Homo-oligomer: A and B are copies of this chain.
């Protein structure tokens, strides 16, 4: 257990470290150092050894050969501060629990210090696989995990992931388009958009879906109607205020997260405006809470628990050395129409609030 993945692979894998060493023309301890991610290996040697390890599918043997110890899976978030985290945990835990695997939940706060600490812990507990949720630290962690031979699956990648990292996401672009088209069908022409963090791919995809829907409807995108946000409530509150302060405010608002939509609804309430009579609001996520918000929120459902389940199944396939159907999977989003959207009043078609 405490000897790390290298030794287990060496004892039981089809290709041993000794064979890799022979093929690479280096010593066994050198291969071991590469596998254990130590720094005292010349870059050229490391590259040659890693290539051989990869080609021989070395990492694939770790989990199937370790029947005597308890299996663990690491689920890593940036922050554990949003109700959507619990949705993902629920999905991951359900599949892992049924397979007798413990789900170790961590938060690394986009800080490399926390990530290093986590990596140290992961190494010590010899986790069988990692599911990483939307982190800008993904490239760094990926490199380390590859050295350790621990399979990684990324949920909702922050940036473009390395080609050999499987990802599970949602159809964010299609969701952004569906939300906007719903508002267009209700007669809205000036539609505000509260964006997510631009460094995240999912934010960009939702924004592009919004733009595409307007474009298809022959409506020029008005940059003043797009305001920045960070997915949290307060930015929705602030963003909606900014939109209402425009000379010609929108009649509808699409927020790139449910939490920002909730913040926007609160802005409208404080200004004495009604949802949806004075302004329609659409969110993104479909958190369980928004079914009960006042009013129940029209939103784009992201199947978060299902994304978690699929990520675990993908990690398990990797640990068993099975082929993946596809390294990139996007689960479908779905527009859920509730009570926060309504037709634009006839007298205000084409106008603002």
Q: Is A135 an interface residue (CB 8 A)?
A: no
B residues less than 8 Å from A103 (CB atoms): 104-106
Roughly how many angstroms separate A150 CA and B97 CA in the complex, as a whole number?
20
Select A97's contact among B70, B106, B288, beta carbons within 8 Å. B106
Roughly how many angstroms separate A269 CA and B269 CA in the complex, as a whole number?
13
Query: Contacts A69-B124, A104-B103 known; A269 to B295 CB distance under 8 Å?
Result: yes
Nearest to A291 among chain B residues (CB) is B233
Nearest chain B CB to A187 CB, angstrom units = 24
1/0 per residue, CB under 8 A from B, across A229-264: the answer is: 000011001000000000000000000000100110
Select A2's contact among B1, B118, B121, B122, beta carbons within 8 Å. B1
B residues less than 8 Å from A118 (CB atoms): 97
Query: What is the total number of residues of chain A having a CB less than 8 Å from a CB of chain B?
Result: 55
Nearest chain B CB to A269 CB, angstrom units = 5
Select A93's contact among B80, B94, B288, B294, beta carbons within 8 Å. B80
Nearest chain B CB to A351 CB, angstrom units = 25
B residues less than 8 Å from A125 (CB atoms): 69-72, 102
Roughly how many angstroms separate A210 CA and B83 CA in the complex, as a whole number?
29
Q: Are A100 and B81 closer than 8 Å at their CB atoms?
A: no
Query: Contacts A1-B2, A68-B2, A295-B269 known; A289 to B102 CB distance under 8 Å?
Result: no
Q: Is A332 an interface residue (CB 8 A)?
A: no
Nearest chain B CB to A87 CB, angstrom units = 8
Q: Are A117 and B105 closer than 8 Å at their CB atoms?
A: no
B residues less than 8 Å from A101 (CB atoms): 121
Q: Is A27 an interface residue (CB 8 A)?
A: no
Select A114's contact among B90, B97, B237, B294, beta carbons within 8 Å. B97
Q: Is A181 an interface residue (CB 8 A)?
A: no
1/0 per residue, CB under 8 A from B, across A88-118: the answer is: 0110011001101111111100000010011
B residues less than 8 Å from A265 (CB atoms): 294
B residues less than 8 Å from A2 (CB atoms): 1, 68-70
Q: Are B114 and A83 closer than 8 Å at their CB atoms?
A: no
B residues less than 8 Å from A98 (CB atoms): 117
Q: Is A324 an interface residue (CB 8 A)?
A: no
Q: Are A93 and B107 closer than 8 Å at their CB atoms?
A: yes
Nearest to A265 among chain B residues (CB) is B294
Q: Are A70 and B263 closer than 8 Å at their CB atoms?
A: no
Q: Are B124 and A100 closer than 8 Å at their CB atoms?
A: yes
B residues less than 8 Å from A83 (CB atoms): 83, 86, 289
Q: Is A285 an interface residue (CB 8 A)?
A: no
B residues less than 8 Å from A100 (CB atoms): 117, 120-121, 124
Q: Is A197 an interface residue (CB 8 A)?
A: no
Query: Contacts A124-B100, A269-B295, A292-B262 known; A89 to B90 CB distance under 8 Å?
Result: no
Q: Are A292 and B259 closer than 8 Å at their CB atoms?
A: yes
Select A121's contact among B85, B97, B234, B296, beta carbons within 8 Å. B97
- With A70-B124, A263-B292 given, can you name 17 additional A-B contacts, CB distance below 8 Å? A1-B1, A1-B2, A69-B125, A70-B121, A70-B126, A74-B102, A85-B89, A90-B107, A93-B107, A97-B121, A102-B122, A103-B106, A233-B292, A262-B289, A266-B293, A275-B294, A293-B293
15 A-B pairs within 8 Å (CB atoms) are namely A1-B70, A70-B121, A70-B124, A72-B102, A83-B289, A97-B114, A100-B117, A100-B120, A102-B106, A103-B105, A233-B289, A262-B294, A263-B292, A266-B292, A266-B293
